[in-house]
Amino acid sequence: MPNIQSAKKRVKVSKTKNLRNRMVKSGVKTSIKKFNAALAEGAQPAAAQLSATTSAIDKAVAKGVIKKNAANRKKARMALAINKASNA
C-alpha cells in the first residue's frame, strides 16, 4: 500500500478510471454482440444495428478507451460482414 498522499490519490483515481474504461469496453462488446445477433437474422436488422454499434465504438475512441485504428478495424469488419450478407 502507498504511504505518500499523492500515491494514495493515484490509486483512487486509477481505480475510478479503470472502472469507467471497463464499463465503456463492456458496452462496446455488448453492442458488437447485438450486431452479430442481428446479422444472423439478416442484413436489414444488422444495418439498423450498425449505426448504434458504430456510435458506441466512436464514443469509446473519443474517451480514449480504445485506439483509433482498432475502432476503424472493427467498423470495417462489420461493414464487410453486412456487404457479404446482403450479397449472398
pLDDT of res. 87:
86
Asked if 51 contacts 16 with a C-beta cutoff of 8 angstroms, the reply is: no
CATH assignment at residue 15: 1.20.58.110
Between CA 52 and CA 63 the distance in angstroms is 17
Supply the angle between the helices 5-41 and 43-62 in degrees, to the nearest 10: 170
- Counting the structural domains of the chain, the total is 1
Q: What is the pLDDT along the chain (88 residues), one digit of tens a residue?
A: 899 999 999 999 999 999 999 999 999 999 999 999 999 998 899 999 999 999 999 999 999 999 999 999 999 999 999 999 988 7
Q: How many CA atoms lie within 13 A of 52 on its CB side?
A: 15
Give the whole-angstrom CA distance, residue 88 versus residue 75.
20
